[in-house]
Structure 1
Amino acid sequence: MEGKSRAAQRREKKKAKALRQKQAPVASAAPPPPAAAVQPSKKRRRDPPAPASPGGDTPLAVHCVGLEAPVPGVRAPGALAADEALPSDAKAALALTWLVSPVSPEEFLADHWERRPLLVRRRGGAAGHWGGLLSAAAIKESLRLQRLVQGEDLTVTHFDGRARADRHVNGKRFTPRDLEEALDQGSSVRLLCPQKHHDGVWSLLSLLEEAFGCMVGANAYLTPSASQGFAPHYDDIDAFICQLEGRKRWRVYGYPESQGPLPRYPSADLGGEDLPRELLDTVLEPGDLLFLPRGFVHQAETVSTAPSLHLTVSAGQNNAWADLLELMLPQALAAAAADPATADLRRSLPSDYLDFMGAAHSDRGDEEDPRRAVFRAAIQRHLHRVVDEATDIQ
Structure 2
Amino acid sequence: MATDGRGPGDRPALSRCTPISRDEFAESYWGRSPLFTRAADLEDDFTDLFSTEAVDDLVADRALRTPFVRMAKEGDVLPPSRYTAGGGFGAEIGDQVSSDRVLAELAAGATLVLQGLHRTWAPIAAFARALAEELGHPCQVNAYITPASSRGFDPHYDVHDVFVLQIAGEKHWRIHEPVHPDPLRNQPWTDHRQAVAARAQEAPAIDETFRPGDALYLPRGWIHSATALGGLSIHLTVGVAAYTRTDIVETAVDAAADIPELRAALPLGFDPGDPALLDPEVDAALDALRDALDDPARRAAVAAAVGERLRARRRRDSSPPPVRPLAAVEAAAALDGGTVVGARPGLRPTVTAEVETVTVRLPGRVIALPIAARAAVDRLVDEEPVAVGELPGLDPESAIVVARRLLREGVVEVVGP
TM-score (norm 1): 0.64
Helix, strand or coil: the match of 1:100? coil
Change (3 A) 1:217 1:118: same
Change (3 A) 1:232 1:345: closer
Relative CO higher for 1 or 2, CA cutoff 8 Å, sep ≥ 6? 1
Question: Paired residue for 2:321?
Answer: none
Cα distance in 1 between the residues matched to 2:283 and 2:161: 39
| 2:181 is equivalent to residue 260 of structure 1 | yes
2:27 alignment partner in structure 1: 110
- Residue segments in structure 1 that go unaligned for 5+ positions in a row: 1-74, 84-90, 363-370
One-letter amino acid of the counterpart of residue 141, structure 1? D
Summarize the Cα distance change of 1:224–1:128 in structure 2 as closer, same or farther, 3 Å threshold.
Answer: farther
* 1:78 Cα offset (Å): 1.7
What amino acid sits opposite 2:60 in the alignment?
R
Cα distance in 2, alignment partners of residues 157 and 118 from structure 1: 27
1:40-90 CA-partner distances (Å, limit 9, x unpaired): xxxxxxxxxxxxxxxxxxxxxxxxxxxxxxxxxxx967275999xxxxxxx
1:94 to 6, 9, 12: 12
CA displacement at 1:196 relative to structure 2 = 2.3
Q: Residue type of the partner of 1:130?
A: F
Match of 1:166 in 2: 78
Instruction: Give, in angstroms, the shift of residue 360 of structure 1.
Output: 3.1
* Other-structure match for 2:385: none
> Which of residues 280, 286, 296 is equivalent to 2:222?
296
**AA partner of residue 260 (structure 1):** P
Deviation at 1:353, TM superposition (A): 5.3
Cα offset, 1:108, TM superposition: 1.4
Residue in 1 aligned with 2:61? 145
Q: 1:183 to 1:325 in 2, by over 3 A?
A: same
Show the counterpart of 2:72: 157
User: Residues 50-65 of structure 1: matches in 2 within 5 Å?
Assistant: none
With over 3 angstroms needed to count, the CA separation of the structure-2 counterparts of 1:386 and 1:284, relative to structure 1, is: same
1:374/1:137 Cα in 2 relative to 1: closer, same or farther (>3 Å)?
closer
Among 290, 298, 301, the residue aligned to 1:384: 290
Contact 2:5 2:13 in 1 (8 A): no
2:4 to 54, 57, 78: 78
Q: Do the aligned partners of 1:77 and 1:95 also contact (CA within 8 Å) in 2? A: no
Match of 1:310 in 2: 235
Q: Which has more strand, going by share of residues?
A: 2
Change (3 A) 1:205 1:351: same
CA distance in 1, matches of 2:278, 2:5: 65
Structure 2, unaligned stretches of length 5 or more?
Answer: 85-93, 305-417
Cα distance, 1:82–1:126 mapped onto 2, change above 3 Å:
closer
Is the partner of 1:110 in helix, strand or coil?
helix
CA distance in 2, matches of 1:226, 1:193: 25
User: Percentage identity across aligned positions?
Assistant: 25
Deviations 1:89-109 (CA, angstroms, capped at 9, x unpaired): xx7x722122212x2222211
Instruction: State whether residues 76 and 98 of structure 1, in contact with CA within 8 Å, keep that contact through their aligned partners in structure 2.
Output: no
Displacement of 1:203 in angstroms is 1.2
Q: Is 1:121 aligned with 2:38?
A: yes
